[in-house]
Structures are given as C-alpha cells and as structure tokens.
Structure 1
Amino acid sequence: MSKIIDIGQYIEVAINWLTENFKPLFDFIKHTGNSSIIGLEWIFLAVPFFVVIGLFTGLAWWKSGKGVALITLLGLTLIYMMGFWKETMETLSLVLVATATALILSVPLGIWAAKNKLAAKIIRPMLDLMQTMPAFVYLIPAVLFFSIGKVPGAFATIIFAMPPAVRLTTLGIDAVPKDIVEAARAFGATNRQILFKVELPLAMKTILAGINQTILLSLSMVVIAGMIAAGGLGEKVLEGINNLDIGLGFESGLSVVILAIILDRITQGFVQNKK
C-alpha cells in the first residue's frame, strides 16, 4: 500500500537540518559528554577494586541495611571474579552521567508541568511518545548528531529514562496538601520559598522514586547503547549474542542484573529514609 502521509520524510528533513546547522553545538556536547564519562571511568578504574566495593557496601549498609550491604559485597566481588570489572565501571559511569543529565532536565520540567497547566498539556503527550517509542529508534538521531561512541549511547539513554522523573516530580508537587501551601503563603512566603521550603521537601519521597526509576531505565538501555559502541557490559552481551556464546552472554547479563539490584536497593533506601 502506498503512503498517503509521509511523516517520516519530514522528520528526516528536520534531523538533517539540525545536524547541518547545529554541528558546533553537537560537537561541544559530544566533547563535554565524552570528557565526563571517560573521567568518571578513570576514577572508578584508578581506585583499587576493593576500595570501590567497600564504598558501595558502606553506602548500602548506611541507607538500606546489612542485607543489602551483603548483597552488594557479594555481587560486586562476583563481577570482579568473573572478569567484568572494567566493563561494569564503564557501564556505571555512563548510567551515572546519563541519569544526572536526565534529572537536570526532568525535575525542572516536572515542576513546570505542576505549576503550569498549559505546559502540562504539552509535556504529557511528549512523555507518552518518549516512553512508547521503540528505544532503537533513538539510536538513529543519536548517531547522526554525535557519530558512534559513548555520547550517542548516553543521549538515547537520557531520552528513554527522563519520563518517570518528570511524571513523579509533577505528581509529588501536585500531591502536596493545598492547606499547607496556603498556610505558608499566609505567613508571607514567596512562591520561590513555597517551592523550595514546602513543596519540594514534601514531594521529595516521590521525586526520589522517580530517580530510582530513571536509574533502572538507564540500565535497561545498556545493551542497546552497546550497539553503537558505547562500551561496557552492553557490548559484552552483544558479543555473546553475535557469537552464540551462552557463557559470555549469561555472565555479562548477570553483571547488569547485579548492578541494577544494587543501585535499586540503595536508591530505595534513600526513598524509605524520607518516610
């Protein structure tokens, strides 16, 4: 059946126009992103593995208790013994940079959507599109803008992982009791003071839940990012798939699962401490 409306043609024209006219901006983002990810990788790999394991174990004990600390200790030790320490640190660096960038963008958007009904009507359909669009599609503009490497992997990860943080930030602020806000306003608080001293502290538990989901979604993009030479565990998983190497695929996949469990439990600990 022939096309009646060729939407893809217009999207392609728009992407090509952006690539041609904003190349200096994309080059700057690529350089900055590469520097951030590689710098974080260098730190994680320069520090002895047992120190990194100890730090994460201590953080897990502090925020989530002895059980999670034990899981963290055993899980990271297993990753090291399987020989995937370098790839795990590369993946962790990409996830942390992508998550931080996603939160810098998504929390203000969530606040704006909570405060402005018109903005909410515009942002929500965009979030629906970002969450339901197949993740592989994000690789096309990412590669066109930044070529292959870590930055396009981070770019696709950011787009895919932003929506939960935006939605939960909006939900958290909307859920703040109106009488508390009115009481603060009655005592002479400005809109800025109400936001930072009333609404955000009361909504922090919900916002932290959004951060938790953003981290997990970032990890779910690891294998897809590996398809465009982002490095880390994703490339090892793909290598196992391409070579039909069951052992390599299982071990690298298990490393992703262990890292996801550790980050999930630690961030959940931050959420629970807000109760």
Structure 2
Amino acid sequence: MSQLFPKLPLSEWVETVVDVMDDRLGFLFDLISAAIGGTVDLFHAVLTGLPFWLLLIVFTLLAFRAGKWSIALFTCIGLLLIENLGYWEHSMQTLALVLTAGLISVVIGIPVGIWCARKDAVQNVITPLLDFMQTMPAFVYLIPAIFFFGLGQVPGVIASVIFAMPPTIRLTNLGIRQVPADLIEAADAFGSTYFQKLFKVQLPIAKSTMMAGINQSIMLALSMVVIASMIGAKGLGADVYRAVTQIKIGEGFEAGLAIVIIAILLDRITQRVGKRKNV
C-alpha cells in the first residue's frame, strides 16, 4: 500500500548529525574516552592490586558500618564464594565499570536534578529526555557509543550511564521539591542564601529520596554489564555472554550468581546509607 505521505529520511538525518559531530567534536570524544578509561583503570588497579583478604575485610566492615550485621555476614560469605568459584578478578573488573558509571551518573545527575527542582522550565525540558533515555532499548545505545568511542570498556560505561542516570535526576528533583514549604520560608526569614538553603535544608532533608535514586542508578548500571560485554567490556558480563554463546549452563550460572551477589551487596549498602538518620 502506498504511503499517503513520503517517508521521512530520519535515519539519514541521524547519520548526518552523527558524522558532523564526529568530524567537529572528535577531540572532545577523545578527552571523554581518556577520562572514563582512566577512571575505570584506576578503580580496577585499586581493586585488583590489593590482597583479597584485605578487600574482604574492607567490604565487610563497610557493610557492617552501613547496615546490620546480617548484611556484613552476607558480604563476607558472598565474596568468599566468588573467590572460591574463581571469579574474583572478573568481579572486580565489573565493579570497576559499575563504580565508574555510578560516579558519572551521580556527578551529572544530582546537579541536573537540582536545576530541575529550581526551575520548572528546565524540568519540562529534561523530563521528556529522561523518558526517552529510559524507554529506548539498551542495545540502541551501543550503536553511537561504538561509533564515537570504538570497542571496549568506554562505550560500555557510556551506554550504562545513559541507561542508569535518569533515576538520580528524577529522585533528586522529587526530593528537593518535597521539602516542606514552611522550612523554606523559615530559612528565607533568617536571610539564608540559595546555596545555604540548598546545602543546609533541602539536600539533608532530601537525602533519603536522593539515595534511592542513586541506588537505582547503580542497579541499572550493573544490569548493563552483560550487554556491555557484547562490545568488548570485560568482567562477569563477558563470562555470561561467552557461556550463552557456547551453551555452557554451569559456567553461566556461576558468573550470573557472582553478579547477583554484587548486586545484592551494592543494593543493601546503598539502601542502608539512605535510611540512616540525618544528624
């Protein structure tokens, strides 16, 4: 059936924009790639350079400090199991990718969320972009990431950041907007500046909501590790992907179990940090 209107050359438009960006902003993409790659390498060097037993103690104490003794016990047993199965180094590679993606999501997401909370016009523009970022299939993000940054861990982090950042922005915006108006009026009555209100009133009260957003961003970043392995990102995702392609059910289960342990560990710790009483 013939179309009533001619087909829009949307794909050609997108490719033209991408080509122009690559020609004119290639130096910027190189800087971003170097910064992200350096951050991942730094996390990986620290996590793999320290002895296993020392990291086990550090993670267990961190879990105990953040929550209950049961979380610390799970952390200890879970990490011992990962080491026993032989996935410790790959787990640290995955953790380095997740920490980098989470760090970028927080560094960018919190200021954008604060900006959205301050101006309704900004929120009206950012919200559709966040909807687009969350509803677009994750595999689609790999195409421009590969084009601009090649294969490897950097495009995997970029795709993870795009997929994981929206919850941090949304819940930062929501948390600040939910601060009681009478507290804002009291701060204004005492002559507080905008930044004094932000750092001494709004952010402390919105902390639990913001931490929920950060928690979700970390979980979404971790969920991208298998997809990122398809474009050369290392870690547990590569083990799962290799097991799927070679139909090795046992190895896939082991690598998947290691991902689950890391996910539960990060989820419980960030949840407990968000629920801790503000001083």
- Normalising to structure 2: TM-score of the pair? 0.96
**C-alpha displacement at 1:36, in angstroms?**
1.2
| Distance across 2 between alignment mates of 1:180 and 1:7 | 49
Which residue in 1 is equivalent to 2:93? 90
Which residue in 1 is equivalent to 2:66? 63
Which residue in 1 is equivalent to 2:126? 123
> Which amino acid in 1 is paired with 2:190?
F
Q: Does residue 36 of structure 1 match 2:39?
A: yes
Contact 1:204 1:274 in 2 (8 A): no
Which residue in 2 is equivalent to 1:169? 172
Q: Point out the more displaced range, 185-194 or 11-20.
A: 11-20
Which residue in 2 is equivalent to 1:147? 150
Which residue in 2 is equivalent to 1:217? 220
| Distance across 2 between alignment mates of 1:34 and 1:222 | 16
Contact 1:165 1:211 in 2 (8 A): yes
Q: Does residue 182 of structure 1 match 2:185?
A: yes
Q: Does residue 207 of structure 1 match 2:248?
A: no
**C-alpha displacement at 1:233, in angstroms?**
0.6
Q: What secondary structure, in the 3-state scheme, does the structure 2 residue paired with 1:140 have?
A: helix
Which residue in 2 is equivalent to 1:157? 160
Which residue in 2 is equivalent to 1:235? 238
Out of 22, 27, 30, the position equivalent to 1:24 is: 27
| Distance across 1 between alignment mates of 2:31 and 2:123 | 31
Q: Deviations over 1:22-56 (max 9, x none)?
A: 11111111112111111211111110111111111
Query: Segments of 4+ in structure 1 off by > 3 A?
Result: none
- 1:238 and 1:201, CA in 2 relative to 1: closer, same or farther beyond 3 A? same
| Distance across 1 between alignment mates of 2:64 and 2:204 | 24
Contact 1:150 1:230 in 2 (8 A): yes
Q: Does residue 260 of structure 1 match 2:263?
A: yes
Which residue in 1 is equivalent to 2:48? 45
| Distance across 2 between alignment mates of 1:40 and 1:183 | 43
Unaligned runs of 5+ in 1: none
Q: Identity percentage over the alignment?
A: 46
Q: What secondary structure, in the 3-state scheme, does the structure 2 residue paired with 1:136 have?
A: helix
Q: How many aligned positions are there?
A: 275
> Which amino acid in 2 is paired with 1:198?
V
Q: Point out the more displaced range, 24-33 or 224-233.
A: 24-33
| Distance across 2 between alignment mates of 1:39 and 1:219 | 18
Unaligned runs of 5+ in 2: none
Which residue in 2 is equivalent to 1:138? 141
**C-alpha displacement at 1:191, in angstroms?**
1.2
**C-alpha displacement at 1:64, in angstroms?**
1.2
Q: What secondary structure, in the 3-state scheme, does the structure 1 residue paired with 2:277 have?
A: coil
Matches within 5 A, 1:245-256: 245-256=248-259
- Normalising to structure 1: TM-score of the pair? 0.98
RMSD value over aligned CA atoms? 1.1
**C-alpha displacement at 1:7, in angstroms?**
2.1
| Distance across 1 between alignment mates of 2:137 and 2:277 | 34
